[in-house]
Amino acid sequence: MTSNPLAPEWLSPPVDANALAPAVWPAHADRGEAGALRIAGVSAVALAEEFGTPLYVFDEQDARTRAAHVRAAFTAAFAPLGADVHVYYAGKAFLSTEIARWMTEAGLRIDVASGGELAVALAAGTDPSELGFHGNNKSIAEIDRAVAVGVGTIVVDSLIEIDRVAAAARAAGRVQPVRLRINSGVHASTHEYLATAREDQKFGIPLAEALETVARIRQHESLAFLGLHSHIGSQIFESDGFAEAARRLLAVHAELLKAGPVPELNLGGGFGIAYTSVDRLTPIDEIATDFARVIETECSALGIPVPELAIEPGRAIIGTPGVTLYEVGTTKPVEVTLDDGGSATRLYVSVDGGMSDNARPALYEADYTVRIANRVSSAEPALVRVAGKHCESGDIVVRADYLPGDVAPQDLLAVPATGAYCFSLASNYNYLTRPAVVAVRDGRARLLVRRETEDDLLRRDLGAQPQGAARA
């Protein structure tokens, strides 16, 4: 078939609109004999019948394997240098008590960025010493709690936080290990809102102020300085940006060594995943090797020992194992006038969720892939736009993809690579309830987080009356 003129340049008509691109789908996704999507041996139809839609589904073994692989790749790359590697799972990508356990059982630590994330990690039984605490505006209560429970490291983001953490540590009678968040000035190739190391933004201390800021940290007996921290952005496909950040930070690291120990260097996370079949990313083993080569070269040139390395992947671990299931409600062909005076048709397919369960398309213009999950079809592919049910024109789940043209109400749709930043960004916009989270493994499904109910929503509204009650 020929390409629809409304399709973006990167999207080509598929040979098979039922096919599952391996880079985008969980490791254990396939189609059963009847054509229905299966994840880890569990039919999407069965999942929808038991748990309802929208539904977040996670391939448990895939998530565990990816976590272990990241740790193994970096450990292997840095072992010849005699340097340890600490891998922190970035909880902001998606955190629940069970996910936290998967990560710690794979040998990872947990990175949290709020009191709520800290509470979830602790409720999972995570050793507090294996936690890192981020954030540009940690409340005094959050700092006090983090110090009191024995959080392993706190990443200080401002001069004010140095004094606050020091005071909390003194009050708790302990020495609190800290890292200093540095704005390296490295511009990663990513969306403007995902780039977090630019000069004019809210995170970190300018690189030029690092020496005097660390000196201030070292003045406090209740603080132990571990090293510098950098995070250059998210959804990054290449290692060049990380290499440049490492060079800049190591130059300062070398200067800091003259006044005291600097055991670690933390280069953050941000490793990308494939959201569509055209996304090309660097394998994690290659990224780890690149990291080791750059750090070894720079440390040798500076005449300093290779420090311990810390990284904080989130999306790269949990993104691809996640799939969201929806039910189609309506379909609507829309004829669009083209610049040349002709016209083309885009099929709008509306589902029972939307920006309340996946805000990324609205926030970042993020692209996703979609497939019919309950069947296969030989119908001619049609260009579709999967829309949510919210009262917003920007409520789009999948901006452009091809589905069999006979997609119809009550069909199940599956959107892959939704494991990161979907549940964690979910909302109750239009008072929709947030979806359940299910893990699948070895042909079995189990509920991790139950679906919200309307009773949950009304329970917080102190003016709510029992159904049928009349106001006097």
Which of 32-36, 126-130, 410-414 bottoms out in mean pLDDT, i.e. has the lowest? 32-36
User: Whole domain around residue 338: which residue ranges?
Assistant: 29-59+321-453
Q: Is residue 344 part of a domain?
A: yes
Confidence of residue 312 (pLDDT cuts 50, 70, 90): very high
306: alpha, beta or left? (left if phi > 0; alpha if psi -120 to 50)? beta
* Same-domain check for residues 272 and 391: no
Higher pLDDT, 32 or 237: 32
Q: Of the candidates 268, 299, 318, which is a domain's last residue? A: 318
Where do we find the tokens 């933390």?
266
- What ranges make up the beta strands (E) of 279-356? 308-311, 322-337, 343-351
pLDDT on residue 270: 80
What CATH number is given to the structural domain containing 263?
3.20.20.10
Confidence of residue 99 (pLDDT cuts 50, 70, 90): very high
Nearest to 413 by CA among 392, 384, 393: 384
Helix, strand, coil percent content, the chain, rounded in steps of 5: 30, 25, 45
Confidence of residue 21 (pLDDT cuts 50, 70, 90): very high
Confidence of residue 233 (pLDDT cuts 50, 70, 90): low
* Same-domain check for residues 216 and 339: no
pLDDT on residue 349: 98
pLDDT on residue 196: 43
* Same-domain check for residues 376 and 388: yes
Q: Is residue 77 part of a domain?
A: no
Average pLDDT, stretch 213-236? 90
Is residue 198 pLDDT above 70, yes or no? no
Confidence of residue 199 (pLDDT cuts 50, 70, 90): low
Q: Which of 15, 391, 462, 469 is catalytic?
A: 391
* Same-domain check for residues 266 and 155: yes
Known catalytic membership, residue 391: yes
Confidence of residue 205 (pLDDT cuts 50, 70, 90): confident
Confidence of residue 204 (pLDDT cuts 50, 70, 90): confident
Q: Is residue 129 part of a domain?
A: yes
343-371 pLDDT, tens digit per residue, is: 999 999 999 999 999 999 999 999 999 99
* Average pLDDT in the chain: 93
* Same-domain check for residues 154 and 89: yes
Is residue 226 pLDDT above 80, yes or no? yes
Taking CA atoms, 417 is separated from 97, 258, 265, 321, in Å, by 21, 46, 30, 7
Is residue 189 pLDDT above 70, yes or no? no
Which of 30-34, 220-224, 234-238, 274-278 bottoms out in mean pLDDT, i.e. has the lowest? 234-238
* Same-domain check for residues 354 and 302: no
pLDDT on residue 371: 98
pLDDT on residue 186: 64
Q: CB of 7 within 8 A of CB of 383?
A: yes
Range 21-24 contact pairs with CB under 8 angstroms and sequence separation of 24 or more: 21/274, 21/276, 21/277, 21/369, 23/274, 23/277, 23/279, 23/320, 24/274, 24/275, 24/276, 24/277, 24/279, 24/320, 24/369, 24/416, 24/417
* Same-domain check for residues 282 and 370: no
Q: CB of 437 within 8 A of CB of 395?
A: no
Domain count of the fold of the chain: 2
CA dihedral 100, 102, 105, 111 (to 10 degrees): -30
pLDDT on residue 197: 44
Burial annotation 70-105 (CB, 10 A radius, 16+ → b, else e): bbbbbbebbeebebbbbbbbbbbbbbbbbbbebbbe
| Residue 218: count of CB within 10 angstroms of its CB | 14
Is residue 442 pLDDT above 50, yes or no? yes
- Cα end-to-end distance, the chain, whole Å: 65
* Same-domain check for residues 246 and 152: yes
Q: Is residue 303 part of a domain?
A: yes
Q: Is residue 71 part of a domain?
A: no
Confidence of residue 41 (pLDDT cuts 50, 70, 90): very high
* Same-domain check for residues 221 and 153: yes
* Same-domain check for residues 273 and 165: yes
Q: Is residue 363 part of a domain?
A: yes
Q: CB of 103 within 8 A of CB of 125?
A: no
Q: Is residue 95 part of a domain?
A: yes
Distance CA 314, CA 425 (A): 14
Sequence-distant (6+) residues with CB within 8 A of 80 are 292
Token duo for residue 451: 């679906």
* Same-domain check for residues 285 and 145: yes
pTM of the complete model: 0.93
Q: Is residue 471 part of a domain?
A: no
pLDDT on residue 438: 98
Is residue 190 pLDDT above 60, yes or no? no
135-154 pLDDT, tens digit per residue, is: 999 999 999 999 999 999 99
250-261 pLDDT, tens digit per residue, is: 999 999 999 999
Q: Of the candidates 261, 289, 318, which is a domain's last residue? A: 318
Is residue 101 pLDDT above 50, yes or no? yes
DSSP calls for 361-412:
HHHH------EESS----SPEEEEEEE-SSS-TT-EEEEEEEEETT--TT-E
61-81 pLDDT, tens digit per residue, is: 999 999 999 999 999 999 999
* Same-domain check for residues 378 and 439: yes
What CATH number is given to the structural domain containing 418?
2.40.37.10
Residue 424, amino acid: S
DSSP alpha helix (H) spans, 173-232: 210-218
